[in-house]
Homo-oligomer: A and B are copies of this chain.
Amino acid sequence: MSEYARRSVPEGIAAILKQEEMAGYLQGVRGELGRSPCVLLPKSTAEVAICVRHCAQFDVPFVPQSGNTGLVGASIPDETGRKAVLSLETLRGVFEIDLANRSLTVSAGFRLSEVNERLAEHGLFFPIDLGADPMIGGMIATNTGGSRFLRYGDVRQNVLGLKVVLNTPEADVLTLGSAVRKSNTGPDWKQNYIGTSGWYGVVTEATLNLEPVMKEQATAIVVPSSDEAMLGILQYLEARVGPLLSAFEFMSGSAMRHAFAHVTSLSNSFAGGVIPSNAILVELSRTTVSAPWDAPLDDVLQAVLMEVWSLENEPLKDAFFGRPEEIWALRHALSEGVKSAGPLIAFDLGFTRDQVIAFRASMVRSLPVEFPQIEICDFGHLGDGGLHFNLVKTDGPLSADYERKLRDWVITVAVEKFGASYSAEHGIGPKNLWYFQKYCDVTSAQLLKQTEVFVTHAS
């Protein structure tokens, strides 16, 4: 063990110093590898503050890590081996439900699944629906969105209060906001610690808005007659059953093909087993127990899709219904399916809703010309403009140079022609740092500079 590693750990703080016990903390979910002198395991906000102060004093940069499920490399240390990992997984002291207020105060180290399991007996949940199972701290640091954004919004819209250890030599502890929903007594400082990857401070505790769990769901796979028809179907459903609509997920034919090939247990209910060029997962749901005045949701979904079916411009080509588990199984198999198809270049783009369609159309036209080896295997949250624009290289290994060129080309078109966000819900991280620097306008850069903080682990 190096002298540097020993020096990195403040007295009284638990830590992992043996390299062989550190592996899980050094590898990201997309295979990125980092090195670190130590993993710090603080058990409370006060211990986090001790760690941050100590790191400042002994000139040890650090990277906060909670569930280590992030997709942009922000949760692992870099390759220098100088950065300590400040793990939040041992922050588990606080779990206080306020039923009347529908809020929860919780330590950053709880996983989303754990939180929702504990809330289930009260019929409540934290309404961010993700494929991964991150911890609360990381969810706040990345401001995750997910599949039910169109009903519940993102993490930002569901955070009422935060406890933060400032990323300064003094490591002041701030309590920002509270379970009180209506308060306008100055700047809402907590916003600066949401979606900023621990840049300004480490979130150790949060007060969250809770929502009633879904009691009834109805799901269908809808095949639109064209890409352009998708938006019309969305708008029609919003007009007719908007408040019941809890998911409207676009899936490309190629992504579905790879999912079926990879997850052989998936049942294929498309007419004749032929996978269409695109499809939409539609979900209606109720958060109230079925009441005498409620029509069964399956009936409502059938009736409203019948209406769409008979629209003059014929936006709907086909549709089939199924139990939610079955229908969502296809959606949830897309990521793995696409990954198994070949080297993956993944983009997490955000658009206004009509620009999602326009961007896809443009890519279908121009990508085969510029990059003939690439297959588009995208899917996304059309209801909120989020597009997981996944590309697979079909002819063997991917060089760093090729990837960089492809990445630059796609992001340039998306951002400059279609007004996209180059990171809809995954954050910045090393993966997006270059684009952050490119597209951060001059005045924002000034604002960033004015905030005097460590930026050693920026993102």
Give the shortest distance, in Å, between A249 (CB) and chain B (any CB): 14
Which stretch (A3-11, A257-265, A284-292, A318-326) binds chain B? A284-292
Tell me whether A420 and B145 are in contact in the complex, defined as CB-CB below 8 angstroms, given that A187-B195, A353-B100, A436-B185 are known contacts: no
A183 to B384, CA, bound (A): 11
Asked whether A310 is an interface residue with its Cβ less than 8 Å from the other chain, the reply is: no
- Are B189 and A447 touching (Cβ within 8 A)? yes
Asked whether A101 is an interface residue with its Cβ less than 8 Å from the other chain, the reply is: yes
Query: What residue of chain B has the Cβ atom nearest to residue A239's Cβ?
Result: B288
A233 to B218, CA, bound (A): 29
Asked whether A14 is an interface residue with its Cβ less than 8 Å from the other chain, the reply is: no
Asked whether A219 is an interface residue with its Cβ less than 8 Å from the other chain, the reply is: no
Q: Which A407-448 residues have a C-beta within 8 angstroms of B?
A: 419-428, 432, 435-436, 439-441, 443-444, 446-448
Query: What residue of chain B has the Cβ atom nearest to residue A211's Cβ?
Result: B242
Query: What residue of chain B has the Cβ atom nearest to residue A215's Cβ?
Result: B239
A152 to B425, CA, bound (A): 22
- Are A101 and B174 touching (Cβ within 8 A)? no
Which stretch (A61-69, A77-85, A153-161, A267-275) binds chain B? A153-161
Asked whether A32 is an interface residue with its Cβ less than 8 Å from the other chain, the reply is: no
Residues of B within 8 A of A428 (CB): 184-186
Hey, what's the 0/1 contact readout for A111-128 against B, CB within 8 Å counting as 1? Answer: 000000000000100000
Residues of B within 8 A of A200 (CB): 187
Tell me whether A142 and B184 are in contact in the complex, defined as CB-CB below 8 angstroms, given that A238-B212, A295-B293, A450-B452 are known contacts: yes
- Are A188 and B191 touching (Cβ within 8 A)? yes
A194 to B295, CA, bound (A): 41
Residues of B within 8 A of A336 (CB): none
Picked from B101, B185, B195, B451, the residue with its CB within 8 Å of the CB of A354 is B101
Asked whether A277 is an interface residue with its Cβ less than 8 Å from the other chain, the reply is: no
Give the shortest distance, in Å, between A380 (CB) and chain B (any CB): 10
Residues of B within 8 A of A381 (CB): 182
A183 to B287, CA, bound (A): 28
- Are B293 and A352 touching (Cβ within 8 A)? no
Residues of B within 8 A of A149 (CB): 181-182
Query: What residue of chain B has the Cβ atom nearest to residue A418's Cβ?
Result: B180
Query: What residue of chain B has the Cβ atom nearest to residue A234's Cβ?
Result: B100
Tell me whether A239 and B181 are in contact in the complex, defined as CB-CB below 8 angstroms, given that A166-B443, A352-B103 are known contacts: no
Residues of B within 8 A of A420 (CB): 180
Q: Which A219-262 residues have a C-beta within 8 angstroms of B?
A: 231, 235, 238-244
Asked whether A34 is an interface residue with its Cβ less than 8 Å from the other chain, the reply is: no
Asked whether A172 is an interface residue with its Cβ less than 8 Å from the other chain, the reply is: yes
- Are A186 and B196 touching (Cβ within 8 A)? yes
- Are B419 and A178 touching (Cβ within 8 A)? yes
A440 to B242, CA, bound (A): 41
Residues of B within 8 A of A288 (CB): 239-243
Residues of B within 8 A of A292 (CB): 303
Asked whether A403 is an interface residue with its Cβ less than 8 Å from the other chain, the reply is: no
Residues of B within 8 A of A384 (CB): 181-182
Asked whether A98 is an interface residue with its Cβ less than 8 Å from the other chain, the reply is: yes
Give the shortest distance, in Å, between A378 (CB) and chain B (any CB): 15
Give the shortest distance, in Å, between A240 (CB) and chain B (any CB): 6
A selection of 20 A-B contacts at a CB cut-off of 8 Å is A100-B353, A101-B352, A101-B353, A101-B385, A143-B188, A145-B182, A149-B181, A172-B446, A174-B444, A178-B421, A179-B419, A180-B420, A180-B424, A182-B425, A184-B421, A186-B444, A187-B192, A189-B444, A293-B299, A295-B295
- Residues of A with Cβ closer than 8 Å to B? 98, 100-103, 123, 142-143, 145, 149, 153-154, 156-157, 166, 172-176, 178-189, 191-192, 194-196, 199-200, 212, 231, 235, 238-244, 286-289, 291-295, 299-300, 303-304, 350-354, 381, 384-386, 419-428, 432, 435-436, 439-441, 443-444, 446-448, 450-452
